[in-house]
Amino acid sequence: MKLKIAIQKSGRLNEDSLKILKDCGISIDNGKDQLKASARNFPMEVFYLRNGDIPQYLRDGVVDVAIIGENVLVEKGEDLRIAEKLGFSKCRVSLAVPKSNNYESVRDLEGKRIATSYPNTVASYLKEKGVEAELHIISGSVEIAPNIGLADAVCDIVSSGSTLFKNNLKEVEKILTSEAVLAVSPNIGDEQEEVLAKLLFRIRSVLTARLSKYVLMNVPNDK
């Protein structure tokens, strides 16, 4: 029985996901524009899906596991089990305001308009802080919202911070840190669990090797 794994269909997370599978010794028949591919030397099928759709595919049992950003799970799939954190595609979900804003604390966002692709994450954070704000849900180019008068602040993924800088924004609150994780469907079967155990063994070996440092030393024979 094959293990069905979902990965993002394009972008950096796609590349890093394929690399860790390759480092695990898994060879995938990968054709251009394919939405599904099979491994040649491991009982696995790979599905290339939109990142935001993956949590629902996991819940529905369409796929057994997925390599996905932890930030997406917090937003759309908190009920899903994380089998392993993978150590790549690291970022954070943060609140940002215009550089000219004399921001002092999260209380400054009371009654303000916040543009975001992560409404559930932001709403939960603001509720915890006792702040009420108006959320505007935007699927992309969130950083432009303050410049066009749509919002007073934004909440989005931040990696290097360069996109915020280019849009005259400054990061003021870090809501969560994120990295790629291996998430598991609640409907995974027993046979697929056995394959998953083998995959996890390989992944953990790769992660351990990535953290290892090799020291080479030439020692004279008379020492």
Q: Tell me the C-alpha distance between 7 and 206, whole Å.
A: 18
Banded pLDDT at 38 (limits 50, 70, 90): very high
- What confidence tier does 45 reach under pLDDT thresholds 50, 70, 90? very high
Class of domain 3-89+179-211: alpha beta
* % of the chain surpassing 70 pLDDT: 94
Assess whether the region 3-89+179-211 and the region 91-178 belong to the same CATH fold: yes
pLDDT band of 78, cuts 50, 70, 90: confident
- Whether 216 shows a pLDDT value over 70: the answer reads no
The mean pLDDT of the chain is 93
CATH architecture of 91-178: 3-Layer(aba) Sandwich (3.40)
Task: Parse the chain into domains and list their residue ranges.
Answer: 3-89+179-211, 91-178
